[in-house]
Structure 1
Amino acid sequence: MFSKYTDRKSELVPFLNDSKPRATATSKMHYFDDIIPFGEFECREALEREVKRHRYWKNKTVRKMNFDRIETSTSIQYILESFTEARSTSEANEAANFATMSEASCSLSGGGGALSPWDFEVLPNQLFVDQVRVFEMPGSSQINPCSACNSEGTIHCFHCRGYGTDKCSFCRGTGMKSGVAHPAVYTHPMIATFPHADLSRGYASSSTAMVRHGGSGSGGNTYGIGTPMHFMSKTGVPPPGIGTHDLCYMCHGRGIKECHHCKGGGKKPCTSCSGTGSVRNYTRIKVYFKNEKSEHYTECEIPEKLLFQAEGKRIFEEEQEYIIPISKYPQEDVNNMSKLFCAQHLQKCMGVCRVIRVTINNQ
């Protein structure tokens, strides 16, 4: 786990600045000669922009305004950043693809020793940026029989219950082009009733009971009850008043068609093993890289929301695997916040993650 503590001691560019460089409040011997001059012209431009945004005054009020004195204000920004790493493991499996498995991966199959997720080095793509990386733990791969299909590679089709046939959606299971069952199937004494609810002869939600001959598969003797084929099987003649042109052209009067899920075979390839009959079990490692950041501004007259947008000069920066708090900075407020932030970051990391890099910035 990497961690980074960043203490930034920074001297921000004053919100209002005159043309003469001034010493900071914390160091009387240090001058920032590269600070952008901020005089009456810059102040007037800033006020004109505020007038356009908020309409506090009229433009002529700003143009007639006189500046007697321009005072600067200074704030120190302290930033501590800790870049940490945490790991978790989970069991995963996938279909065993023997064609693409290399000799090295095959030799890992059946590996026995207990492995720790911290035994492997994982480097982040970029320091101090939140990211997540997932990879397979080396030496954890095992080839096992598929329990979903008992290593057969195929499973029964749920939609047709393994029969390979389903209700024809074009005629709604009636066998007629019109989608309405012929009246003769209700009135003929040899046909009896139309058993819609006989789920033992069809399947749930099918609304068409079926007569199946010869076991699974879409054989020629399989038909739906209450269809012209059902009538002909009982009476030997088609229902009165209809011809072949009245039959559904998809199922030819049978009321059922080939199941499109299993293509009429009654079985489908197992989704767990993709039809191979074996699965590969392995351990997946997930690595979480997180950047913990804390920052503090010393008290000044400038609102803190404006300090976020200001640019400053970096006074001090330190980046190590572990750092100690600042203790000898002229402003005691910065020293206290450095101790507080370091203790808080360390407390968050203990027993949860490990520190990769820590950086401190002052500006």
Structure 2
Amino acid sequence: MQQASSAKRIIMTGGGTGGHIFPAIAIARALQRLYAQTDILFVGALGKMEMEKIPQAGYPIEGLKIAGMNRGSLLKNLLLPFKLMDSIQQAGRILKRYQPHAVVGVGGYASFPVLYKAQRRGIPTVIQEQNSEAGKSNKILGKKARSICVAYEDMQKFFPADRIIYTGNPVRENISRATVTREEALRHWGLTPGKKTVFAVGGSQGARSINLALEQGLIHFIQQDVQLIWQTGAPFIERAREIVKPYEQQVRVMEFVEHMEHAYAAADVVISRAGALTISELCVAGKPVVFVPYPYAAEDHQTRNAMALVRKQAALMVADQAAGEQLVHTALELIRHDNKRQQLIDNITPLGISNADERIAREIFRLL
């Protein structure tokens, strides 16, 4: 571990979903691993999951009164400009008090006010753009950012080419440094060694199209003697528990998987949404995957993320609206064809970057 000549103060800002929060925590830990005297403050959005997850990870956080568009309430949207202005003022007060050497934005509501205000004050800013389609805020902020750390090629259509650094997306340490064997993982789940296993995950809240497709096609897993690990999310868990009661020896259902390294290690095939963090984890884990992109993500970035791998023959994809008819069939076809699975493994594994957190940390320190 190196020691910095003096303490460096870094603000990490963003959140809203685990796809933003977990990479931010990974970067923070890499910063402190490389330079022990680094002091880190997180800034998030009040009421969002970062206000719980960041303190659990051992870091302080301050919340802004920022929110996104509300499709169900025109009145709430009318208040957005006032919330944004208030959040920019809050961000200014935080910057004045904390005096950071740099501000790092990972995406999410809170990142815009803090990065915007930091750039106005001449504080070095770094953007960590996780997706293949840059978000609107990052496109604006990228014009003045000192560095933009990306995980996909051809991002110069969104950002100044001379400030783009290809780093990959940070993944959680329990995945990037996983040593769990397949046998150990199957024992962890109480499943049978030697049987093919599918892991289905739709994000922390689950995915309705994936859940309904698995409900409809569960009998095909049973008939073909394929085991299933199924993360349903909270809205579907009670229904799933009833569905799988006759097949409990062969199917494991849970609301949320705490130890993803055991799920990935057990899986011969993964069914998944196509968020940036999940894709990066699957690349590092080197798993054959069938993506079902969430079609309502901003700029349809999940479809673009998935297609970046499909074009390299590193993954398969089923459209959300076709999941009911095609998903189970596609996954079971892949289970049956060892050569196709191996091709996907061979093509996805080189895309995994297990030290993205340290690459980004080094780039941040380079600017100080």
TM-score norm. by structure 1 comes to: 0.18
Which protein shows a greater Rg? 1
TM-score norm. by structure 2 comes to: 0.18
Q: Greater relative contact order (Cα 8 A, min sep 6): structure 1 or 2?
A: 1
Q: Please identify which structure carries the higher helix content.
A: 2
